[in-house]
Amino acid sequence: MGGREVTLIDSSSWIDFLRGRQTEPALRVQHLLAAGEAAWCDLIAVELWNGVRVGKERKALDELEIELSSFPLDGEVWALARKLAFRCRQSGITAPSNDIVIAACVVTHNLGLEHCDKHFDDILPLAKSL
């Protein structure tokens, strides 16, 4: 992507954007999209499709499917996710499995992460240390 920093956008921020809210996360998503720096992975797409409302949100997701870079959840991501899950447990951090996999994707592909989910504040530093 030509030297630009690519940022994986978590569903926690996409939701505000897709629902037209004027929140800080929604505005950050808007900026990342305009700059051509927004991305997702299939797990985030599935989370969004699972909660999409008919109408504008569905149309927006259809367009995002075409426009966004999607980073693979390959064997390297899953291996890091397993290590991260264990490290979280050892550290007394309880986090959803989806967030663990997303953090592993961010670290594996050297991406930024846009989110408004407090779990990432705990698990992302652990993922970067593995």
Does residue 21 sit within a domain? yes
Other C-beta atoms within 10 Å of 90: how many? 9
Segments forming the whole domain that contains residue 42 = 7-129
Helix (H, G, I), strand (E, B) or coil at 69: strand
pLDDT given for residue 53 in this prediction: 82
pLDDT given for residue 3 in this prediction: 57
Report the number of distinct structural domains present in the chain.
1
- 10-residue mean pLDDT series, the chain (130 residues): 80 93 96 97 96 87 94 98 98 96 98 96 96
pLDDT given for residue 1 in this prediction: 43
**Single pTM value for the model:** 0.93
Amino acid identity for residue 84 in this structure: L
Does residue 56 sit within a domain? yes
Partners of 9 in beta bridges: 114
CATH of the domain at 109: 3.40.50.1010
Helix (H, G, I), strand (E, B) or coil at 74: coil
Does residue 1 sit within a domain? no
pLDDT given for residue 25 in this prediction: 97
